[in-house]
Structure 1
Amino acid sequence: MSSDAPVPLKKSSVALPRTAVPLGIGDPVEQARTELKAALAAIEEKANVPRRVGLAVDKGIDEARAFSRRNPALTAVAVVVGALTVGAAVWGFVRLYTR
C-alpha cells in the first residue's frame, strides 16, 4: 500500500556542527527555529574569547609536547634560553627600578 504521506528523512550518520542547519526541514516555523539556534550558536562560538584562547593554548601545548618528543635536545636548549631571557628581563627591570 502506498500513501501520499511524506517519507521521514533518515538521520544522517554524520554529525552536524552546532552552527549548521540541516536540510529538508519542511515546517517553516521549525526551519526558523533551527536557523535561529544555529545563528546563536555561531555568535556564541565567535564571542566566547576565553574558550577560543583555551583551545589555542591546548593546541600550542600539544604542539610543544610533540616537538619535545621529536627533539629533546633542542627543547632543553629552548628552555634554558627562555629562562635566561626571563631572568635577564627581570634583572634589567629591577636594576632600572632601583636607580
Structure 2
Amino acid sequence: MSSELPVPRTAVPVGITDPVEKARAELKAALFAIEEKANVPKRVAVAADQGITSARRFSRESPAIAAAAVVGVAVAVGAAVWGIVRLYTR
C-alpha cells in the first residue's frame, strides 16, 4: 500500500523517466498554471468566499464589534452619498 499524496494539477509528478512523458507532464502542468493565473473570475470568487468566511467567523466571535462595524460602514456610505448629492445639486 503506497502513501502517495495527490499531485496538484500545476505540478509535475516525480519519478517520470521517459523524456517524452516528462515533457508532456511539464507542458500539462504549465498550461494548468497559466489557466489558474488567467482565470480572474474564479480567483475573485475564491477571494470573496474567503472574505465572507472570515467575516462570518469574526461576527460569531465578536458580535458587538461586528454590529458596530456594520453601523459605521452604513454611516460612512450614507455620508458619502449625501455629500455627492449635495455637490451635484449645487
Provide the residue aligned with 1:70 in structure 2.
61
Equivalent pairs counted in the alignment come to: 90
What is the Cα deviation at residue 30 of structure 1? 1.1
Q: TM-score, normalised by structure 1?
A: 0.84
Q: Percent identity?
A: 68
Structure 1 unpaired stretches of 5+:
1-9
Provide the residue aligned with 1:42 in structure 2.
33
The aligned amino acid for 1:62 is: T
Question: Does residue 81 of the first structure (1) align with residue 72 of the second (2)?
Answer: yes
Looking at structure 2, the residues matched to 11 and 98 of structure 1 have their Cα atoms a distance apart, in angstroms, of 73
What is the Cα deviation at residue 66 of structure 1? 0.4
Structure 2 unpaired stretches of 5+:
none
What is the Cα deviation at residue 13 of structure 1? 3.2
Provide the residue aligned with 2:46 in structure 1.
55
The aligned amino acid for 1:13 is: E
Task: Please identify runs of 4+ aligned residues in structure 1 that moved more than 3 A.
Answer: 10-13
Quick check: which has more Rg, 1 or 2? 1
Equivalent of 2:24, from 28, 33, 46? 33
Looking at structure 2, the residues matched to 12 and 44 of structure 1 have their Cα atoms a distance apart, in angstroms, of 29
Q: TM-score, normalised by structure 2?
A: 0.92
Q: State the Cα RMSD in Å.
A: 1.5
Task: Tell me: CA distance 1:32–1:22, structure 2 relative to 1, closer, same or farther (3 Å).
Answer: same
